Amino acid sequence: MHAAGNDYIYINLFEERIEDPATLSRRLSDRHFGVGGDGVVLIGPAEQGDFSMRMFNADGSEGLMCGNAARCVGRYLYERGLTNKQNIALQTLSGIKQLQLTVDPVEDRVIRVRVDMGPARRDGSALQPPQALLPEILEYPFEVEGGIWTVTFVSMGNPHVVIFTDGIDALDLPKIGPPIEHHMLFPQRTNVEFVEVINRGELRMRVWERGSGETLACGSGACAVLAAAVLTGRADPKAWVHLRGGDLLVEWERQQNRLFLTGDAHFVFQGEVK
């Protein structure tokens, strides 16, 4: 499945048993010698909530949360008959995420999914495990590989470094992304977003995801980008975020400090592997 081009291989743990998901993700995610994808997502029972989601990046590392994957899980659960609920509590490593499904009443098909992505934080206290020493970083000059980038840090339960700049299409992300992802400030590594402001209601971004490299979209990254844009006076609390894989609507209810992500989710193909 994919959502805004963020493609994962989804495995139903109600039917399958996976002994070593990290190794499996490395093998299957290889786009030349495997199925190909940004990683593997396991859909299973939950200790809290209705269902659980675990996601593993292409390098085998386990991610805390992925808003695009969560939307795909919502559609999978409904259209594969695991639930008839249109409001689903999904257990992730960064907490329970509420999914709100919009269903076509004629075709009984999920049109879009809205995800309550939870609060945005400006330090590492919400990360799992918490990074208590990670300071608040707002418009901070950051020297990496001989260049200086002005960065803002936002935690969506997973870490994001947001950089506002022009000419994002020309950036060499495989060169710029890794030294920021692995910077000593981020012992658990970090995702990195490069953002152009179109206007107060539209943003463009490219993303370097920890453990996967550049991907076509990142849901939690889009939320972090909107939060950073609002905090720095660049955008309104509701805006479209345009990614290489598609468009996402992000809304920040600041009084409750909750971000909501709305977008697509698509089946691509299904199969079996040994």
Beta-carbon contacts of 75 under 8 Å, excluding residues fewer than 6 positions away, are 1, 101, 110, 113, 265, 267
In the chain, % of residues over pLDDT 90: 82
pLDDT digits (tens, 9 = 90+) for 14-73: 999 999 999 999 999 999 999 999 999 999 999 999 999 999 999 999 988 899 999 999
If you average pLDDT over residues 114-138, what whole number do you get? 74
Quick check: helix, strand or coil at residue 151?
A: strand
For the chain, list the domains and their CATH numbers: 2-119 (3.10.310.10), 140-258 (3.10.310.10)
What pTM did the predictor assign? 0.89
What per-residue confidence (pLDDT) applies to 203?
98
The rounded mean pLDDT for the chain is 93
If you average pLDDT over residues 239-243, what whole number do you get? 97
CA-CA distance, 78 to 101, in Å (whole number)?
9
What per-residue confidence (pLDDT) applies to 207?
97
CA-CA distance, 253 to 111, in Å (whole number)?
23
If you average pLDDT over residues 197-223, what whole number do you get? 95
Catalytic residues: 66, 218
- CA distances 194 to 92, 113, 120, 153, 158, Å, are 26, 25, 18, 12, 17
With 70 as the cut, is the pLDDT of residue 189 above it? yes
What per-residue confidence (pLDDT) applies to 18?
96
pLDDT digits (tens, 9 = 90+) for 138-177: 898 888 877 899 999 998 988 899 999 999 999 999 999 9
If you average pLDDT over residues 238-243, what whole number do you get? 98
Q: What angle is formed at CA 124 by the lines to CA 25 and CA 239, rounded to 5 degrees? A: 80
With 60 as the cut, is the pLDDT of residue 126 above it? no
Beta-carbon contacts of 70 under 8 Å, excluding residues fewer than 6 positions away, are 53, 90, 92, 97, 99, 113, 115, 219
- CA distances 16 to 13, 78, 98, Å, are 5, 18, 25
The tokens 């000419």 sit on which residue? 167
What per-residue confidence (pLDDT) applies to 274?
85
